[in-house]
Amino acid sequence: MSPDAQHSEDRVAQPLRSDAERNRGRILAAARRVFARDGLGASMASVAREAGVGIATIFRHFPTKEGLVAAVFADRMDAYADAVVVALEDPDPWHGFTVYIETACAMQAADQGFADVLTTNFPTAKAMEERRNEAIAGMVRLIDRAKATGRLREDFDTSDLVLLHMANAGVVSACGDSAPDAWRRVVALFIQSLEGPARGPLPASPDHDALHKAMRRTGPAGLTTPEPDTTS
């Protein structure tokens, strides 16, 4: 996977000098490992240590942590959005819907950093948010199709997918390496609960704006704020 993915937010117009390019690649590879292990709460300093570069070098390439996160996870976000497209091509809308949920939850379980990305907003990382919005628009179609067959309960709301990701994050983060597949059972139960006809009414969905605000809160504090440059 090229670290120079087209949508990297901080891509500069003129080619980087080759040692700068090497550093950039090294930083992205290191950040990918650190975020996958520790989530987006990991500090720029720990990425610098993992990459074997000074923290000033990181800030030269990525003035904000949000920019670094967007560059690291661009390809994951692409795969996430692509999974919706694949699901929409499934001739069985319910099957497409359930496979999509399993895929999205598996991506979340495989990478703590991407799990954080899924429940965090990125106000300044435009390409990232565009891909997410594409994915959401596709999901709305996916949900409508599955409801039309009667296999998905009528009262299912797009926000239920956000809630599922929050629930899955809880299981994945608590189980860690001790029970790495436990989330699959929770997701399977969740999918069965969505199968129509519903077995009973549900409490109302949370207000979408409130949930959006909740997502903002989920992100590690200071994600968009450059950390102080304490060392080089």
Would you call 152 helix, strand, or coil by DSSP?
Answer: strand
Site for its own copies (CB under 8 A): which residue of 4, 182, 220, 227? Answer: 182
Least Å from the CB of residue 188 to its own copies = 5
Site for its own copies (CB under 8 A): which residue of 123, 150, 170, 222? Answer: 170
Neighbours of 210 (CB within 10 A): 11
Q: Where are the alpha helices (DSSP H) in the chain?
A: 18-38, 44-51, 55-61, 65-88, 93-110, 112-118, 126-148, 158-175, 182-194, 208-218
Q: Of the listed pieces 12-20, 35-43, 135-143, 160-168, which binds its own copies according to CB under 8 A?
A: 160-168
Neighbours of 214 (CB within 10 A): 16
> Does 193 interact with its own copies (rule: CB under 8 A)?
yes
Q: Of the listed pieces 4-12, 30-38, 65-73, 195-203, which binds its own copies according to CB under 8 A?
A: 195-203
In angstroms, the Cα distances linking 232 to 30, 38, 53, 69, 86 are 17, 23, 8, 21, 45
> Does 188 interact with its own copies (rule: CB under 8 A)?
yes
> Does 99 interact with its own copies (rule: CB under 8 A)?
no
Least Å from the CB of residue 17 to its own copies = 42
The rounded distance, in Å, linking the Cα atoms of 157 and 43 is 35
Residue 191 DSSP class: H
Measured at the CA of 202, the angle between CA 199 and CA 208, to 5 degrees, comes to: 140
Cα Rg of the chain (Å, integer) = 19
> Does 136 interact with its own copies (rule: CB under 8 A)?
no
Least Å from the CB of residue 149 to its own copies = 15
> Does 176 interact with its own copies (rule: CB under 8 A)?
yes
Chain residues 40-59 in contact with its own copies, contact rule CB under 8 A = none
Site of interaction with its own copies (CB under 8 A): 119, 160, 163-164, 166-171, 173-176, 178-179, 181-182, 184-186, 188-190, 192-195, 198-200, 202-207, 210-211, 213-215, 217-218
